[in-house]
Amino acid sequence: MINVSKLKKGIVIDHIKANHGYKIFKQLGLDRIDDTVVLMRNVDSRKMGKKDLIKIETDVHLNLDVLGLIDPDVTINYVENGELVRKVRLELPLEVTGILTCRNPRCITNQEHVEDIRFRLVDPETKEYACEYCEARTHL
């Protein structure tokens, strides 16, 4: 069994679907952090069977919209002095800006440079978002 020390201060991203941890690691840019970051894959879990887990030994801003899009069931645990001080449960964001791109080739956002395109959640079950400009739907 691998022993990873208890976090003194930082963030634990827990309940990541098995084999989704690396995608979250890359999307959040955790490979560019100079502090200790641990990605554990296929960890045994009573609740999920198997899960991934990320421990970050520093304070870092996490884009919760990106996390919510990749895996809305993750839990973010904030730790100080070795104790859990706050727990955040994610869900699909109702609106995202600057993360998705429109799949409609005729959309103005694909013809001209448009920054920070907004998409709104139109169907939580299918994880479908609509472009603010042309209403084209994008599946995650």
DSSP states of 45-57: ETTTEEEEEEEES
In a shared domain, residues 84 and 62: yes
Confidence at residue 67, expressed as pLDDT on a 0 to 100 scale: 87
**Is residue 94 a contact partner of residue 55, using CB atoms and an 8 Å limit?**
no
Q: Indicate whether 67 and 47 sit together in one domain.
A: yes
**Residue 3: inside a domain:** no
Distance set, CA 2 to CA 38, 43, 69, 82, 98 (Å): 12, 10, 30, 19, 38
Together in a domain, 75 and 134: no
- 12-16, 30-34, 63-67: lowest mean pLDDT where? 63-67
What integer pLDDT is reported at residue 1 of this predicted model? 47
Domain contains 27: yes
Domain of residue 119 covers: 95-139
pLDDT given for residue 98 in this prediction: 85
Read off the pLDDT of each residue in 6-14 and give the average, rounded to a whole number.
89
Tokens of 51: 């899960």
How many Cα atoms are found within 13 Å in the side-chain-facing hemisphere of 106? 3
Model-level pTM greater than 0.85?
Answer: no
Domain total for the chain?
2
What confidence category does residue 70 fall into, taking pLDDT thresholds of 50, 70 and 90?
confident
- 41 & 99 share domain: no
* Same structural domain, 20 and 65: yes
Q: Is residue 4 part of a domain?
A: no
Kindly state the greatest CA–CA separation across the chain. 53
